[in-house]
Amino acid sequence: MRSNTIYVRTLFALIYSLLAVALSCTDHEVPGIPNDPESACLKINGSPRLYPCEFKIEKLTFYAKDNSVLGEVTPGSPAIALSRSKAKMDSNPGASTAGQIGSLIFDVKATVKRLASPSFPVSAGYLLVYSSHVSGPLALTTPGESAVTGSPVAISIPVGATTEITFELPSRYELYNTMSGVKPKAFLGLTAFLIYNDATSAALDEHPSLIGDVAESYIRITTTVGE
């Protein structure tokens, strides 16, 4: 009988020790960071989006070919003045006659803040999307109204953190006659930049949908092109 009592006491002591260790580990766990209230975003028509928006694009920084800053686009200031002579690449460098068109390539850096955890794990990765459609983020997800630049990217940051993503964007121009000679001007210029979670956008796309409604974040752009 005495041996049974000792066995029971030993068993209770072991259980207590295991519970104490488990609780001490729990005390040191970092609690999960909740979604930012701003992630409860709206569709362009003002209705709630089915899933939270993962990101906020805080700004786009455009760079000249010598890596100097040409300018920035922010949610409250969409205008950017681009220069043909400062572009990283010109698809038609010999163009000099009114009516000729070309496309300029610029390096761009997006400063992005994570507002929410992904609603769906990405498949290939996050897609960097741009549009030159006159409707900007109101363009449709039908072919030709937007395009992907570069390869899918990973954006592995926690809620509340900010990162920078570097990529290229094209901007088209046309030459026209002025009193001071032939000058470039924007021709079907950039109107929006967006970030898609490829899995979430596929779930939201009603074929077609507005590109701004299936994106995790978007920012409007208004381009001008000078010499």
- Look up tokens 């009114």; give the residue: 98
What does the pLDDT look like over 126-136, one tens digit per residue? 999 999 999 99
Residue 34, CA distances (Å) to 39, 49, 117, 159, 213 in order: 10, 18, 9, 7, 23
Helix and strand numbers (H, E) in the chain are 3, 12
Question: Considering Cα of 132, then 133, then 136, then 141, what sign does the dihedral take?
Answer: negative
Q: Which two tokens stand for residue 135?
A: 């409707």
What does the pLDDT look like over 81-93, one tens digit per residue? 999 999 999 999 9
Determine the Cα–Cα distance for residues 214 and 197; give it in Å rounded to an integer.
Answer: 9
Read off the pLDDT band of 33 (50, 70, 90): confident
Determine the pLDDT at residue 32: 60
Residue 200, CA distances (Å) to 1, 94, 145, 156, 187 in order: 65, 43, 19, 16, 32
Please name the helix (run of DSSP H) or strand (run of DSSP E) that holds residue 10, with its range, or none: helix 2-27
What does the pLDDT look like over 57-102, one tens digit per residue? 999 999 999 999 999 999 999 999 999 999 999 999 999 999 999 9
Secondary structure of residue 89 in the 3-state scheme: strand
